[in-house]
Amino acid sequence: MTSLLSAIAQRRTFAIISHPDAGKTTLTEKLLLFGGAIQMAGAVRARGEQRRARSDWMSIEKERGISVTASVMSFEHGGLSFNLLDTPGHEDFSEDTYRTLTAVDSAVMVLDAAKGIETQTRKLFEVCRLRDVPIITFVNKVDREARDTFDILDEIEKTLALDVCPVTWPIGMGRDLKGVYDLSADQVLLFDQTRGDHIPDGIDMPLEDPRLDGLVGAEAAARLREEIELVRGACPAFDLDSYRAGHLTPVFFGSALRNFGVRELLNGIGRLAPPPRPQPASPRAVDPAEDKVSGFVFKVQANMDPNHRDRIAFFRVCSGRFRRGMKLKHVRSGKQIALGNPVFFLARDRELAEEAYPGDIMGIPNHGALRIGDALTEGEDLRFTGIPSFAPEVLRRVRLDDPMKAKQLRKALEDLAEEGVSQLFKPLNGATWIVGVVGMLQFDVIANRIESEYNLKAGFEDAPYDTARWIHADDPADIKAFTEANLSAMAEDRDGAPVFLARNGWTLNRAQQDYPKLRFSATREQP
């Protein structure tokens, strides 16, 4: 049996953040290849194809060329267990992404060497910063014409206010790419333009070694020596604590497509990235080495398998050694839940999770009892903090084509709301549901899923509201008075909590001024 401490030391739970098209999917595929989790490159995509065939709503992904689902992939490499949490890259799905980032201990930021920091990279980076998530940078696509290396580093440093510390350095770029130099190991990694994704071994070679000229050409060698001297002078020395505190990013260069520099990146994650960290919780933080099991749900996905109306709660183990069959306390309801068939997600399969350690992600099949933010413990009333639920920015009225199917529609909308895809509001006077989302594109996804998974046709119409606010007050009489005065703009969320649907910013301001005893909140912390 693995001891708890050594299991923790072996775990690396991370996510890849990037702007769409920077190469996240390609990199994921190559990382899994090293982990032996897939046999051939292309399997991640192939799996995507299968999913598309099974479930129609994935056609949105295909049409728009975006990735909407997030998943978890576990693999082993070099004696370590890696859990890679995939995050959707499209900005309309940022809420899901934010929550996924609450479940990782570090992140890899993929940049396109020709584009540098793009909008979505920046947004995701900001979320990582909120939680001090340490970041390793992978500058991808060096096999293509790219920007000047110093320029890229400069941009990371200036726009993200991060110290940069190159671990590898490209020797040439694009058509002139000769390889990368590993500054941490004093090794050269040669790139073979002609041999597909041949993975070379590093050759020990101090910079001053004259053989370098023979290997990469005198000109490239001279330039490399000059650049590295500059880098060593200009960049701070690598400092593990500074990286782990989120102040410094080690930078790797490579090409995911050509599987070049990816092994070095993976080894770098193994060497540098932190094992599971203490998790912020109330009334106290949770240390992974505690012997009692605890963890939280950060994502819920309904209908992963359309044949079974199952729902999978993605659960991050935060402390203790979990064994299958354990009963844990569902803190929100106070009930015990027996975990008889939790699963691990491998690249292509699910497998029963017999044991799980801090940092591991288990899928818990359930019928709706588990929600995002829920804690499971061995008895203690813990609440893991910082798992956000955002105020919807777009609100629409649901239109059902066949009014006889109202009940089924309600079920479908509730299922999707439970996944955190959307928020659902029931106006106090009026029969139609209001659905709120963070980004417009989600309406397409919802309509598509309602059709393919529930066989219902529904559409969305403009609603006369701009935004929603949860209202709270110390004295329930204040909420009652407000509700009576604003009946046409009042709704309940799916837990029955009172929500004010504001026509615009002005009405919201007005309400806040007129009712100073009420608190209007844009986010609802998980109940």
β-pair type (187-190, 203-204): antiparallel
Which CB atom, from 121 or from 267, has the smaller least distance to ligand G4P? Answer: 121
- Does 486 bind ligand G4P (CB under 6 A)? Our answer is no
Among 11, 24, 90, 277, binds ligand G4P (CB under 6 A): 24
The reply on whether position 468 binds ligand G4P by CB under 6 A is no
Q: Among residues 7, 22, 31, 501, which is the contact residue for ligand G4P, using CB under 6 A?
A: 22
CA distance 497 to 360: 33
Q: Answer for the pair 442, 453: CB distance below 8 angstroms, yes or no.
A: no
* Dist. CA 339–CA 329, nearest whole Å: 10
Shortest distance in whole angstroms from residue 300 CB to ligand G4P: 24
Out of 17, 55, 75, 89, which residue is the one contacting ligand G4P (CB under 6 A)? Answer: 89
As a whole number of angstroms, the distance between CA 95 and CA 422 comes to 10
- Contact with ligand G4P (CB under 6 A): which of 8, 15, 17, 26? 26
Residue 21 binding ligand G4P, by CB under 6 A = yes
Specify the residue, 23 or 250, whose C-beta has the smaller distance to ligand G4P: 23
The Cα 301–Cα 96 span in angstroms is 11
In the complex, the smallest distance separating the C-beta of residue 24 from ligand G4P, rounded to whole angstroms, is 3
Q: Which stretch binds ligand G4P (CB under 6 A): 22-30, 192-200, 453-461, 482-490?
A: 22-30
12 touching ligand G4P, by CB under 6 A? no
Near ligand G4P by CB under 6 A: residue from 8, 12, 17, 23? 23
Q: By the 8 A CB rule, do 252 and 190 touch?
A: no
Burial 78-104 (b: 16+ CB within 10 A, else e): eebbbbbbbbbbbbbbbbbbbbbbbbb
Token digits for 466?
């701009």
Q: Which part of the chain contacts ligand G4P (CB under 6 A), choosing from 140-148, 181-189, 211-219, 505-513?
A: 140-148
Closer residue to ligand G4P in complex, CB, 89/202: 89
| Contact present, 502 and 511 (Cβ < 8 Å) | yes
Cβ at position 203, least distance to ligand G4P in Å:
22
End-to-end CA distance of the chain: 37
Largest separation between any pair of C-alpha atoms in the chain: 84
- DSSP category for residue 259: T
Residue 143 binds ligand G4P (CB under 6 A)? yes
> Smaller CB distance to ligand G4P: residue 141 or 396?
141
Please answer whether residues 261 and 254 qualify as being in contact, where contact means their C-beta atoms are separated by less than 8 angstroms. yes
148 vs 226, which CB is nearer to ligand G4P? 148
Q: Which is nearer to ligand G4P, 20 or 274 (CB)?
A: 20
Confirm if 490 and 428 have CB atoms less than 8 A apart.
yes
Of 16-24, 177-185, 287-295, 342-350, the segment contacting ligand G4P by CB under 6 A is 16-24
Number of residues that bind ligand G4P (CB under 6 A): 17
User: Is the CB of 20 or the CB of 217 nearer to ligand G4P?
Assistant: 20
Indicate the helix (H) or strand (E) that contains 344.
Answer: strand 343-345
Q: What's the CA gap between 296 and 281, in Å, rounded?
A: 10
Burial 155-183 (b: 16+ CB within 10 A, else e): bbbeebebbbbbbbbbbbbeeebbbbbbb
Phi first, then psi, for residue 413 (nearest 5°) are -65, -35
CB of residue 361 to ligand G4P, shortest distance in Å:
20
Instruction: Pick the closer one to ligand G4P by CB: 109 or 364.
Output: 109
141 touching ligand G4P, by CB under 6 A: yes
d(CA 506, CA 493): 23
Query: Considering the complex, what minimum distance in angstroms separates the CB of residue 255 from ligand G4P?
Result: 3
Per-residue x/- track, 47-86, ligand G4P (CB under 6 A): ----------------------------------------
- The site map against ligand G4P for 212-251 (x = CB under 6 A) is ----------------------------------------
CB 456 within 8 A of CB 400: yes
Tokens read off for 291: 């012997």
The answer to whether residue 168 forms part of the interface with ligand G4P (CB under 6 A) is no
Binding site for ligand G4P (CB under 6 A): 18, 20-26, 89, 140-141, 143-144, 255-258
